[in-house]
Structure 1
């Protein structure tokens, strides 16, 4: 499994829904020490054209100790105090962000994995329970952050260097890019929207039958966010059987023809062949003919959450096949293109029933790359940058 895929999967797994966030655990590509500084400068630039006050939070897991905590602007990590039951408010650890047209630089200590939250107008409300930090979950009606305009980026800075990505796995809200400069002076960037891209995403989902309820607004008319389909399912905003007809057709397709999965781009000779049996189970065999993985027809929820019957263990067979299937189902290529994954993004989202949320987000990215779902890194379509020798990092809030 590609290192980016492993890290992204872990980051996704700790997103708080109505439960406790357990922290982010990085998976290093190498035990060799990366050349980056012990404290990596991260510059947040505000070109949003908004006059609201901006607040920043750097939260995550100390990978040396496993403790959950927060970082101040100087890069000093502090563990959270013990939580309570019921959860009590966490300490206010907001860092004052830059006004429009300005920048602020904070430090990220090596061996930290977590999130940078950015909120406009109001500070976010975090709480602590015995299991850890309860992070914002605005898809839940009772969440105190429901009417706050905010977003986050995810990162891991460890001995493999810096991995940083913008994320739309749970929602799309504040347009921003992520980037870094390495020791050779090379700049890398991801997550840049096309002009008027935010408005186009909101409009596309508002007009899409079955998806319009995913758009959340404040009473004053402010467009806050568009929820990802998985979050819409949790709150009854999307039909729980939305994909069911497509899933039946896809599984039935492989009763009469084989499906070839080649999950490792660097190892095209490693192939698995899938066929659907009379019991509706899609079974995969390896080159020797041995059955190595089996998948019952997933539900709409399984697909949008990349879990359940599409759960992907961190191994070298079942997990990579599951990831490939989940990506193909989001992109509505399974059942139509019989070798997966497909690397031609022009073939994605072409069916009437598809992940219109991810389609809208990808359509509005300058480079076509985003994290519209957990396994959007299959085929390298994710909005992530990585370098083993970072010298500085940046998050830029773009105009909206």
Structure 2
């Protein structure tokens, strides 16, 4: 079995560690309500009915399930092989200009799906839930306009994020309001931002195949490059020339990786020998080795760049992957390095992530799995939340006032969710 979608980042590991520690030692000191109100506001300008789903994992028991509007978590019944249709657990979403509030129970990590017009199709196997994968041939959700946000709510607070790791589809912003009344928000597109991303990729040679339209011509989504390549809509070897150039650069100079912003004294030193980059610590001991990754490895931050949940190899791997996505490896020799003005330079780069970031009001987005390196991700967190919000914003742009209004009614904070969907 493989996970259908990689929706976790290094922040997820942090959230998991915090969750287990707090559940074990400080559950009596929990902050935030047992049921956190999450208000979905529809300022999309679209007339179709909106359907909502709150799906996830009870992080205490590991059970997969769904949440109803009142906040009750119900584990899924076992499915079959081949997968059997899951029951309809949709929640009626708001009409244009309206709001719908859902209660989110503590100790849940998962996704909030939102679809326009049609309801989504989910399936159950003996191992869990099969979630929509519209980039895959034959997926019954491929003709539906939908998207999701990801969250974790535990004793350490709420994390909520919008995600473009797999695709860019429905404009929406996320927010969280804390006990002091302050609201944090992110994920808001600039006015005309959706069209700018789509048209920008149409004008980028070789990238237009990642744009998926419905039978009526409506752009349903833009696939991330890895997903587009998997289904033959994008060059599977696109990054290879850049990867080779960046990898070979360190046969004659040293790469310094400082993976922890709060621990600048922790440094690892990389040099390339043949196709392998070897890293030593400050004491000269070898601590990690990485084979030259493929384009697919970079898009997925996996394979040769697999990042285990440890204190050495994982942090180096995620740093390398972020630098390759942003095309800073080979140019900037201390990583993480540079800033947004230095990212995505050159003809061969992740133009998908570049355009998504470029068209966000605050520049933040989850353009790839480890976009949280240097805090470039569209995530909000509050350790003592009182409400959260998701605002569906205009497809031709979005208004800051609409996002604030949605947060006031109960905003969602960004969090990386844990991978609970199996296929």
TM-score range for the pair, normalised by the shorter chain length: over 0.9
Residue number among 364, 387, 390 corresponding to 1:392 in the alignment: 387
Aligned ranges 1:52-71 → 2 under 5 Å: 52-71=48-67
CA contact (8 A) 1:61 1:114 kept: yes
Residue number among 53, 64, 80 corresponding to 1:84 in the alignment: 80
**How many residues align structurally?**
382
What are the ranges of 5 or more consecutive residues in structure 1 without an aligned counterpart?
11-24
Find out whether 1:323 has 2:318 as its counterpart: yes
Aligned to 2:195: 199
Find out whether 1:375 has 2:365 as its counterpart: no
CA contact (8 A) 2:31 2:156 kept: no
CA contact (8 A) 1:362 1:368 kept: yes
Find out whether 1:35 has 2:44 as its counterpart: no
CA contact (8 A) 1:6 1:27 kept: no
Find out whether 1:181 has 2:185 as its counterpart: no
Residue number among 230, 235, 243 corresponding to 2:231 in the alignment: 235
Find out whether 1:46 has 2:42 as its counterpart: yes
SS in structure 2 at match of 1:64? coil
CA shift, 1:9, in A, is: 6.5
Aligned to 1:13: none
Whole-Å Cα distance in 2 between the matches of residues 221 and 275 of structure 1?
Answer: 50
Whole-Å Cα distance in 2 between the matches of residues 192 and 286 of structure 1?
Answer: 40
What are the ranges of 5 or more consecutive residues in structure 2 without an aligned counterpart?
1-7, 396-423
Residue number among 250, 253, 256 corresponding to 2:252 in the alignment: 256
- By relative contact order (CA 8 Å, sep 6+), the higher-ranking structure is 2
CA contact (8 A) 2:110 2:150 kept: yes
Question: What is the aligned-residue RMSD (CA, Å)?
Answer: 1.3
CA shift, 1:7, in A, is: 3.8
Whole-Å Cα distance in 2 between the matches of residues 343 and 42 of structure 1?
Answer: 36
Using the size of structure 1 for normalisation, the TM-score is: 0.93
CA shift, 1:130, in A, is: 1.0
Aligned to 2:10: 6
CA shift, 1:230, in A, is: 1.2
Aligned to 1:138: 134
Aligned to 1:170: 166
Q: What's the CA shift string for 1:207-232, capped at 9, x where partnerless? A: 11121100000011010000011111
Find out whether 1:361 has 2:365 as its counterpart: no
Q: 1:301 to 1:265 in 2, by over 3 A?
A: same
CA contact (8 A) 2:113 2:148 kept: yes
Q: What's the CA shift string for 1:61-93, capped at 9, x where partnerless? A: 011211100000000011111101111110000
Whole-Å Cα distance in 2 between the matches of residues 67 and 225 of structure 1?
Answer: 31
Residue number among 329, 345, 350 corresponding to 1:350 in the alignment: 345
SS in structure 1 at match of 2:354? helix
Q: What's the CA shift string for 1:12-64, capped at 9, x where partnerless? A: xxxxxxxxxxxxx9442652344100000000000000000000000000112
Residue number among 187, 206, 210 corresponding to 2:206 in the alignment: 210
Whole-Å Cα distance in 2 between the matches of residues 232 and 99 of structure 1?
Answer: 32
Aligned to 2:411: none
Whole-Å Cα distance in 2 between the matches of residues 63 and 320 of structure 1?
Answer: 24
